[in-house]
Structure 1
Amino acid sequence: MAILDRTDEGAIARLTLDSPGNLNALSDAMLAELQAALAGLAADPKIRVVTLSGTGKAFCAGHDLKEMQQGRQAEDGGRAYFADLFARCTAVMTAIRNLPQPVIAAPHGIATAAGCQLVASCDMAVAAHGTRFGVNGVNIGLFCSTPMVALSRNIPRKQAFEMLTTGQFIDTARALDLGLINRAVPEDDLQAETMQLAETVASKLGSAVRVGKRAFYEQLEMGLDDAYAHTGAVMVENMLDRDTDEGINAFLGKRSPDWTQ
């Protein structure tokens, strides 16, 4: 039985975590499914935007703690398993960032620990009212060090550190204020609002958005001068794209563009 569902609606791929029995935890099986799905999407030129949601009561409750405890039964106490687990989880999070298409998370219920990391790793997020976000591993003695990487790149450092060291949850109003999510909507409207945002992005020139997503993250890691030099070069290549030329001519001619991509 599949625990990750993919449904395509035009140029939008909807990924749904479908393991409600363990609150869509990032089990070994779920991580494998996500990695395979993301690899497939990266090679799919028809898809321009990806959404990520979950079934049941929660978006994602983080790692599967029962599975992790079973890993301790190995002769090394679980060292090799844990190292491999966190490496596989990191590979999924970085695959989202490196995916050519923008990814929009649509959390509801709870997004905790690696589940919160999943939201923070996506390019945008539309959350249902009442969703709670937390990096609460510290409450059971496990500091959320890998979730910290994505979280601290989304929200101010002092607020991130407070969440990490207190294990306290924040609500959608606070998450919106801090910049962890783009908007909060009634849960009944979550799918429609997420799809509306996805459709808006999908209506743009796909090649331009793909180039722009890559450049967005590249320039964030650079100093100011290097960032301008890099993005200037990116814009030159973008301008030389046949479809960009067509888009500008269409705008000047007050008509719809005839894009090939």
Structure 2
Amino acid sequence: MLNTKKQKTFKQKPQINKGGERDLKGIVTQYLIGIVAIVFFAYINSYFPQYTFQFFIAYMVVMMLVMFAVMGKQAGKMFEAMQEIQRGETIYRIEQATIAKLKEKDFHKLKEEMSTQWKTMMLSFIPLLLVITVFSIPQLRDAVMSIGRSIYGEGQMATFVSFLFLYGIFYVISVPMTIINRRKQAKEGTLTIANSYIVTDKGIIIDNRLPIQFPIEGEIKTDNKRKFVEIHAKQSYMGTSVKQKIRLYTPEPSKLARIIKQHSIQQQTTTQDKE
């Protein structure tokens, strides 16, 4: 956890949240896709078992294409933002070697933070482990498959109900795991640590791949004891708003925070004047 006694917090002017409705639609869409996938998988397993593997591959390909399409749009925006920031005047720069030394001094607390984040991420793998367990143990698999036979006797319909029940259980388990994961991310945030970064009067470029344009919509926290500045912001990912913490290690936390605040405010004023 952050040492709040050593922190100074700066908040940008509150922004109107226009993404709440989009986030809700995105979450509902994800759940609907999951339910439809369950029905289709159960149907294929029951009536066309010989095509189960092909259907699974096709499903994975479609989902990957959707993700690539979303990531492609985001990548285009990020590339434009990076070009805009690079056109600005370089004000502050920290190289990887400097950050590595500061991280080494902060090792124990950093290890604790990353361990907590890793445990949160592992929650999402629980449903997958249950699937593997059930299919690996014949007694469990037969017990689940007998549910359909107890209702419909033998036949494809009985098999369909059994698979529907099996996939449904995993889905019901995965939903609370997902909710817990999202709540933890919303409360604690996902920590990203820069290995190197450049600050210009247009924004910040982290690891030559992640742009943060001014003005920053979020909080800027300074920890002088642990030698870093953190940017806390909300990011929309796959229909969900998650808190993201971007940590910038620096020998001069107060100086870096002052630079970010100053140019963020200047850029905000310039933007408002143009409007």
TM-score (norm 2): 0.28
Going by fraction, where is helix more abundant, 1 or 2? 2
Structure number with greater Rg is 2
